[in-house]
Structure 1
Amino acid sequence: MNQHLRPEPVPFIDIAAQRRRLGPAIDEAVTRVLTHCQFINGPEVTALEAALAEYSGAKYVVTCASGTDALLMVLMAKGVGRGDAVFCPSFTFCATGEAVALTGAVPVFVDVDEATFNMDVDSLKRGIATARKRGLAPKAVMPVDLFGQSADHDAIAAVAEAEGLFVLDDAAQAFGASYKGRRLGTLGLATATSFFPAKPLGCYGDGGAIFTDDAALAETLRSIRVHGQGSDKYDNVRLGLTGRLDTMQAAILLEKLKIFDDEIAARNLVAERYARGLGNVVSVPRLASGCTSIWAQYTIRLPAGCDRDGFAAALKAQGVPTAIYYPKSMHQQTAYRDFPVADGGLPACERLSDDVISLPMHAYLDEPTQERIIRAVRGALGA
């Protein structure tokens, strides 16, 4: 095929399309910051925290430098450390377990439900027993709302309450989703999210936020965010971080938040078209009862025996990019393979890591482009 006849590549996530929509508003917002020069803790940071609180229903929002810092700051605020166990799903991005390990505590990996990709409650119970057998003190559970869909928070909360654990919800991929009519941000002691640029609500760099209804926790988090400051920045009352969100990023997020619900609705239409077009040839993601998704990723499972690398290459030849989230679950990663896993192992995580693949997903994926992706998938499968 001649080079000029090669198919035009499809963007995996089209940040540029959103940029075209919001360009003047974001340019003006950034210019306001450049004019007032309060680059750290400027007025836009306070305004964003208020807007996020109103959006989520949480009483307090503490913005921070990244989703990883959001997780780490909560663990630090709760005094999690050596000898403690924190329970995480293994089929997730490494930041979930990383934040636990950085405190000196032990991440204990549990399995996930193959239909929702989220934490399996029976495996969580086994994980708690595993930790106790190893002499660890169970401290917290960190469910992940993976790919945009909420975990089963009622079931997890029941186990946590029975075992005396607090819940830190890792909603880095799912802020804006809801569980039984409640938006994420009010489930558990605290909720952490990320504003990494590829996220459905993303800034133009790194950023994150913590949501809680606990006033004392919010106060401690604000201290940790600035080196553990007390009455002023030279009165350090605890260990902390440089965990602040830049004013420029807050200004950008304020503009993006205004169109966020509209973009979520568009993502759901894209997901519905994929389900209709592909539901009879691959395993498409399913929403659990009472859950909505913001479709941070659209992750399918290939049929048994399908060569995933060959499938990805066939799509690439058609100009359709793919990604694998995650080719290795956390307990299979070099840095994390010596940490404990729940009794019974993590077979679902391992099966998912072998057969999942994600397709282009964003709010600006028009129907003709999506039809092209669906045809390429069906063609690669001979369907």
Structure 2
Amino acid sequence: MARKKTWLGINKDTYERTNLKGGTYKWKYDVEYVGNKYHGNSIMAAIALTQLKRLDIDNAYRKQIASWYEKGFELYGDKIKLMRIPQNCDSSRHLFQILVDERDEGILALNNQEIYPGVHYIDNTVYSMYSYADGTCPTARYISDHVISLPMHLRLTYEDVETVISAVINFVNRK
């Protein structure tokens, strides 16, 4: 119980949501009650302070990766919706998210090619704690059911991004 309370009330921590054999991240979990967020410690803070020196360089590379994804998907707007960043916003682009039909099948198809996307947004009314409000947020539910966070880390190469783009396009064009 104490462990769940320190993890936002989520019933599984990151390690419990990982398939250790295949490395597949299992994003499905439940929020059973209100919890708190107690994540950091002094070691993490020390590492973060040293990484601040690289923030501008790292953010620039994330923006480059995002532009590769955007260019790769630009002809597929009818099947792959991009989560756009507002023009007046300077985002770090730590996530690159798309909306596709049959999201869960898409994640499995990518996993079969050793590509491991994530789901970083789930409509709160899906969780048992907020189930009383089910159906009250149709736009949030639509996004929750269709969003995929594509790989977005600093070790991605142009070729890696091209591989992800091809896999997503192959999935949406499979029929």
| TM-score, normalization by structure 2 | 0.70
**Is the CA contact 1:285–1:299 (under 8 Å) kept in the aligned structure 2?**
yes
User: What corresponds to 1:329 in structure 2?
Assistant: 123
- Cα shift at 1:348: 0.9
Q: Aligned partner of 2:58: which letter?
A: E
Structure 1 position 67, deviation (Å): 9.9
Conserved 8 A contact 1:266-1:364: no
Aligned counterparts, 1:118-133, within 5 A: none
Could you tell me which residue of structure 2 aligns to residue 312 of structure 1? 107
Kindly state the Cα deviation for residue 280 of structure 1 after the two structures are TM-superposed: 2.5
Query: Relative to 1, partners in 2 of residues 1:371 and 1:335: Cα closer, same or farther, differing over 3 Å?
Result: same
Q: In structure 2, what residue type is equivalent to 1:362?
A: H
Deviation at 1:267, TM superposition (A): 0.4
1:102-133 Cα shifts (integer Å, max 9, x gaps): 7xxxxxxxxxxxxxxxxxxxxxxxxxxxxxxx
Q: C-alpha distance in 1, partners of 2:129/2:163? A: 39
Question: How far, CA to CA, are the matches of 2:161 and 2:169 in structure 1?
Answer: 12
Shift of 1:249: 2.4
Corresponding letter in the other structure for 2:50: E
Distance across 2 between alignment mates of 1:249 and 1:311: 34
Unpaired stretches in structure 1, ≥5 consecutive residues: 1-65, 69-93, 103-193, 197-205, 208-244
1:266 maps to a residue whose letter is Y
Q: 1:272 to 1:67 in 2, by over 3 A?
A: farther
User: How has the CA–CA distance of structure 1 residues 98 and 261 changed in structure 2, closer, same or farther, with 3 Å as cutoff?
Assistant: farther
**Which of 156, 160, 164 matches 1:369?**
160
Q: Are the structure 2 counterparts of residues 350 and 363 from structure 1 closer, same or farther at C-alpha, using a change threshold of 3 Å? A: same
SS of alignment partner, residue 279 of structure 1: helix
Task: Pick the structure with more helix per residue.
Answer: 2
- The match for 1:289 is 87
- Aligned partner of 1:357 in structure 2 is 148
* TM-score in terms of structure 1 length: 0.34
Question: Map of 1:1-383 to 2, 5 A cutoff?
Answer: 98=34, 206-207=39-40, 245-246=41-42, 248-281=43-76, 282-302=80-100, 306-326=101-121, 328-338=122-132, 345-382=136-173
What SS does the aligned partner of 2:83 have?
coil
Q: Distance in 2 between matches of 1:335 and 1:345?
A: 15
Hey, what's the Cα distance between the residues in 1 that align with 2:160 and 2:137?
A: 37
What SS is found at the alignment partner of 1:336?
helix
Sequence identity of aligned pairs in percent? 28
Select the structure that is richer in strand: 1
Counterpart AA for 1:313: L
User: For structure 2, which runs of at least 5 residues remain unmatched after alignment?
Assistant: 1-5, 9-29
Secondary structure of the 1:335 match is helix
